[in-house]
């Protein structure tokens, strides 16, 4: 039952993200690096905003938490366009922009 609930939640999250107008940067894309989210203050907001574009002026379309991961596709300064990764230890499909201050980069 928990797996079914996780699958339904991830499907709803992916649908909500896909319905947004997301700025997709022109290619080519890198797909050999990732971000492991860490260092977020659980007493603060406790999440890393997934945004529709590279800046706080773009809509928040989702969130990542400590321990979640995202594949980096292209970066513009400290903002990176990400596609897919893991949320709560489960593979997940999503896309958007994150600010990399809370990323541990990995190959």
pLDDT at 11: 43
Selection from 96, 97, 95, 88 nearest residue 66 by Cα:
88
Domain ranges of the chain: 2-106
pTM of the model as a whole: 0.79
Phi-psi region of 55 (alpha: psi -120 to 50; beta: other; left: phi over 0): left
Per-residue pLDDT of the chain in tens (107 residues, 90 and over written 9): 444 334 434 444 444 444 569 999 998 887 779 999 999 998 888 999 999 999 999 999 999 999 999 999 999 999 999 999 999 999 999 999 999 999 999 88
pLDDT at 20: 67
């Amino acid at each position: 039952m928990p797996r079914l609930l996780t699958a339904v939640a991830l499907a709803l999250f992916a649908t909500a993200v896909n319905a947004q107008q997301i700025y997709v940067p022109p290619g080519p894309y890198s797909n050999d690096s990732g971000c492991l989210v860490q260092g977020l203050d659980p007493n603060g907001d406790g999440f890393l905003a997934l945004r529709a574009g590279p800046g706080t002026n773009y809509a928040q379309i989702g969130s990542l938490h400590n321990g979640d991961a995202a594949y980096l596709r292209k970066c513009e300064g400290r903002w990176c366009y990400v596609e897919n990764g893991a949320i709560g230890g489960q593979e997940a499909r999503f896309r958007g922009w994150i600010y990399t201050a809370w990323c541990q980069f990995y190959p």
